[in-house]
């Protein structure tokens, strides 16, 4: 079937942030670590994806279909006056379906693939701390992913905690010996 595919992404507009608002139906929530990672991503890479919105011409408002958390970062962390918007012109029920499709199509990261990425970053000299920061992971997650790929190579440059201390053990002979 040859369905005509549209490319609204080719028509990105910078819209005043005061004209943009969240929809009231998106079930997607982002945990604090992922929100911090999104913030870092925007700081490091800029806005690489526009926010998808419907333009309510009656009220001259842009209602977010996808990209609420990018919008949230723009307001909360960056105090931006304008944000990149791609407009889709659909009825509410179709916008709701679009929101869910966008959310679910992102997928999840496979543990084996993530462990290989951590392994490769370690090989090129990234410290655990850098991996944690750049990938939005905590120390335990980095260690677990390293364990999956094999201990020897993955922990080659790992600095272990000082929770075990050496002490001098004195061997005392019993009087019977």
Shared-domain flag, residues 85 and 14: yes
pTM (2 decimals)?
Answer: 0.70
Choose the final residue of a domain: 65, 82, 105.
105
Tens digit of each residue's pLDDT (9 = 90 or more) over 81-138: 999 999 999 988 888 888 888 877 776 656 667 788 788 888 888 889 988 888 778 8
Q: What is the mean pLDDT of residues 42-59?
A: 96
Instruction: Note down the domain range covering 54.
Output: 8-105
Residue 108, pLDDT score: 63
Choose the final residue of a domain: 41, 71, 105.
105
Q: Which residue has the tokens 């012109």?
A: 89
């Amino acid at each position: 079937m040859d369905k005509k595919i549209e490319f609204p992404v080719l028509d990105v507009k910078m819209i005043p942030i005061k004209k943009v608002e969240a929809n009231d139906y998106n079930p997607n929530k982002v945990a604090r670590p992922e929100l911090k990672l999104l913030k870092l991503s925007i700081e490091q890479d800029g806005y690489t994806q526009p926010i998808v919105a419907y333009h309510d011409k009656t009220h001259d408002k842009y209602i977010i279909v996808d990209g609420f958390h990018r919008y949230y970062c723009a307001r909360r962390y960056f105090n931006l006056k304008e944000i990149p918007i791609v407009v889709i012109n659909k009825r509410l029920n179709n916008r709701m379906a679009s929101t869910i499709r966008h959310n679910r199509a992102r997928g999840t990261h496979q543990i084996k693939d993530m462990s290989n990425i951590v392994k490769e970053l370690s090989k090129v000299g990234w410290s655990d701390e850098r991996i944690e920061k750049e990938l939005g992971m905590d120390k335990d997650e980095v260690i677990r992913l390293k364990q999956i790929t094999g201990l020897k190579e993955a922990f080659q440059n790992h600095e272990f905690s000082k929770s075990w201390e050496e002490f001098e053990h004195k061997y005392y002979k019993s009087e019977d010996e």
